[in-house]
Amino acid sequence: MIERTFVMIKPDSIVRGLIGEVLGRLEKKGLKIVGMRMIHMSEAQANNLYAVHLEKPFFKDLVGFIRSAPVVVLAVEGESVVTVVRRVIGATDAKEALPGTVRGDLSCSKSMNVIHASDSLENAQKELSIFFTDSDLMKYSRLDANWVC
């Protein structure tokens, strides 16, 4: 079954010129980008996205970092997309991310870890709704859809 998830290319990727590399990894895996925009995240969007961390001591720094430079927000589709994206991007901590994953190859630290992706379909729906409406998302077929696993 085709599912949809939220992915965000973080400020550290933007300032390091890694947008194309990160997008390429997702597309080469056969995932379909159905929504994409570069934004400077508002404080309200950041607070909403990271609301689960509100009471944690690092919340203010997290919001400050995510608003320090533009981000690219993405709506991504694919079969078992949450699981697939999380495997492609690797562990949150750069020291634990395996080589071959986005974070294993590109991240610098636990906080500057290149990319964010929803950890469940429920969170994906919530996170997508912060940045996209249904009319923002594109419908199209990839030419390789029958060949990509």
pLDDT confidence band for 1 (50 / 70 / 90): confident
Domains and CATH numbers, the chain: 2-134 (3.30.70.141)
SS3 44: helix
Give 108's contacts (C-beta < 8 A, 6+ positions apart): 12, 94
On the question of pLDDT at 60 being above 70, the answer is yes
Distance CA 94, CA 96 (A): 5
Contact of 125 with 63, CB cutoff 8 Å: no
pLDDT digits (tens, 9 = 90+) for 110-128: 888 999 999 999 999 999 9
- Catalytic residue, from 74, 102, 116, 131: name it: 116
Q: What is the pTM of this model?
A: 0.94
Judge whether 40 counts as a catalytic residue: no
Query: Distance of CA 111 to CAs 34, 62, 77, 103, 115, Å?
Result: 27, 8, 26, 11, 10
Rounded to a whole number of angstroms, the distance between the first and last alpha carbons of the chain is: 12
More confident residue, 109 or 76: 76
What pLDDT, on the 0 to 100 scale, is given for residue 149? 55
